[in-house]
Amino acid sequence: MKIINLKIQNYRNLDGVELIFHPDINFIIGENNLGKSNLLKLLNILFNQQRFKEDDFYNSDRAIEVEFSLELETLEIGMFNDLFDPENSHILNIVAVQESVDDNLEFKHKESGSFIPRADLKCINYIDYDSLRNPSSELKFDKIKGAGKFLNYIVFKYLENSQTQDLDFIDKSKINELLLEVTGNLQKIKPFKDFFIEAILENNQENLLTKLIILADDQKRRLENLSYGVQFYSLIPLALLEKLLSLNNKKNFKKCIFEDESTAEKCLPILIGLDEPEIHLHPYAQRALVKYLKKIVINEDKDFSELLRTLFSIDRLLGQIIIVSHSPSILLDDYKKIIRFYVDINDKKLTVKSGKEIVLEKKTEKQLLRNLPYIKEAFFSKVVILVEGDSELGAFPVFVQKMNINLDELGISIIKAGSPHSIVPLMNLLKKFGILSVGIMDSDQKKIYESKKIENLFFTELEDFEDEIFNSLDLLDYILYVESETPKKLKFMVQKAQQLVSTTIDHNKSLYSQFKNLNQEQIKKLKFESKEEILKILRNTKTIINGRYLAEQLDEIPQIYQTVIKTAEELSNYVK
């Protein structure tokens, strides 16, 4: 049972918003204060609560209406009797309406208007995780709330299954000696004596045992004393299990377990909403967490599946995840799993674009999926500058700095497309997500793309990046750099200098120290005659480091790159 779309009316700032979900995992991204967390709150109200509150109504004179569709597995068909989409028996279209603050939410089948009991929809089993919690107060066996409730349950389950008595863990004679000593001392205190207060052994044996057990690492350090990253990473799966435990204790839980007749497996639908799970996590840990959660819901983590089977008699989850995030590191390599919130630059209204609804040619899609691991930051940007390769990627941040432009404040990112033929497809993909972009290609691509009149696509004025750099490069600065890195590459210049400027070269001294005495006309002549060789060197050393260094040597930024950067700046200001 998976949610496949959602249409919202009159709920907070999401009035008029429509979303399409991926069946496995969804990443809700966008700038702050656009209502991403409101979406998770909406789902929690729909599936776990009775009604919306007063401040949930965008307009108090109108009803809140949420239209959504569920996709049912074959084994779930019949859960809602004969209610389904007329064209697809696996789809159920539902309208949820709350007329006023004083009313309860009511659910109806869209096509027939038939009433749908709230208890049936609770079988979606929506689990909400909010990262604003204190793991050190939950990651203990003696707690009965949060993740501690699940840890406590493990002990209880063991005692129940093993029929173990407290005497198996405690030397009763020793403990009685202790209790007599403690009570004897307390009886010397008047209130304790007057009210017959004494020390006794805890009767609830699992409570006693949970106070003896702590969580620690292999160095015996308590979990609550480890980093917040470790604590939050540990907390999230425990929080999911705690929610499952709460569901397991409800009366209608068995109704929500479906049996696969072909395998006799017990299957449980589950929808997980996570709000910024990346908090406190290292980028690698963020990716590891998301992949781990995905493996859990698609039943590929054998250990977790075994735990579900042992504790809850559940063989398989029918799961879906919705994650609100501000971290590029947490995204997976599939744009179809991205849902972006943004303000439309034309009508200034909140707009939501789901990657699931973007349809591309297979060849283009394959090409973009290869790029995706390297362009995730672009989805969090207002404007993206797309460049061809490593040299440009290294040079552009230096250009921007020299132009006194703050990319972070403007929400501009610089992304390497990897090839000129990836720039236009990436610009198109970003446009579909409501992200403005500026592309820059070498002039040899003009004949292919110029006639298509693609907005904000520029071409170098000279042959390529290296030619633009050479044109603005101070020859002496270049000689100084190459001589310090790979002096053998300047052998050709020795011969040219001797031929062109009639100077004798001392091979025991640096070229820079000898050439700096040449006049401007001689330098200009030597640069012109060395162009072919220098360009060959530049084109054979296309690296981020080399691009950055070359940009640092320029007194004047090539005009075309200034134009690209200024265009991106203007677009960013326009987005505001």
> Domains of the chain by range and CATH?
2-132+250-330 (3.40.50.300), 139-221 (no CATH), 359-465+559-575 (3.40.50), 474-553 (no CATH)
* Residue written as token pair 């990436």: 426
| Ranges of H-type helices in 281-436 | 283-297, 302-312, 362-371, 390-402, 407-410, 420-432
**Inter-residue contact 425 to 367 (CB < 8 Å):** yes
**Inter-residue contact 424 to 438 (CB < 8 Å):** no
pLDDT of 273 strictly over 70:
yes
pLDDT of 205 strictly over 70:
no
Identify the residue with better confidence: 495 or 121: 121
> Which residues, other chains included, contact 256 with Cβ-Cβ below 8 Å and sequence gap of 6+?
122, 123, 125, 247, 268, 269
Average pLDDT over residues 181-206: 83
Alpha carbons 461 and 470: distance in angstroms, whole number: 13
pLDDT in tens, 174-187: 888 999 999 999 89
pLDDT of 503 strictly over 70:
no
pLDDT of amino acid 427? 95
Tokens of 230: 């470790």
Tokens of 223: 């979990």
pLDDT of 257 strictly over 70:
yes
Please tell me whether residue 190 adopts helix, strand or coil conformation: helix
pLDDT of 169 strictly over 90:
no
**Inter-residue contact 352 to 5 (CB < 8 Å):** no
pLDDT in tens, 128-163: 988 888 888 888 888 888 888 999 889 888 888 888
Strand order in the sheet with 412-416: 412-416, 383-387, 436-441, 457-459
**pLDDT band, residue 206 (cuts 50/70/90):** low
The whole-chain average pLDDT of the chain stands at 91
**pLDDT band, residue 356 (cuts 50/70/90):** very high
Average pLDDT over residues 449-476: 94
* Element of type H or E holding 269: strand 265-275
Nearest partner of 351 among 30, 59, 569, judged by Cα = 30
**Inter-residue contact 368 to 421 (CB < 8 Å):** no
Alpha carbons 419 and 441: distance in angstroms, whole number: 9
**Inter-residue contact 109 to 93 (CB < 8 Å):** yes
The per-residue DSSP string of 74-127 comes to GGGTTTTTT--BTTBTTEEEEEEEE-STTSPPEEEETTT--EE-HHHHGGG-EE
Q: Please say whether the dihedral angle defined by the alpha carbons of residues 213, 214, 216 and 219, taken in this order, is positive or negative.
A: negative
pLDDT of 488 strictly over 80:
no
pLDDT of 501 strictly over 70:
no
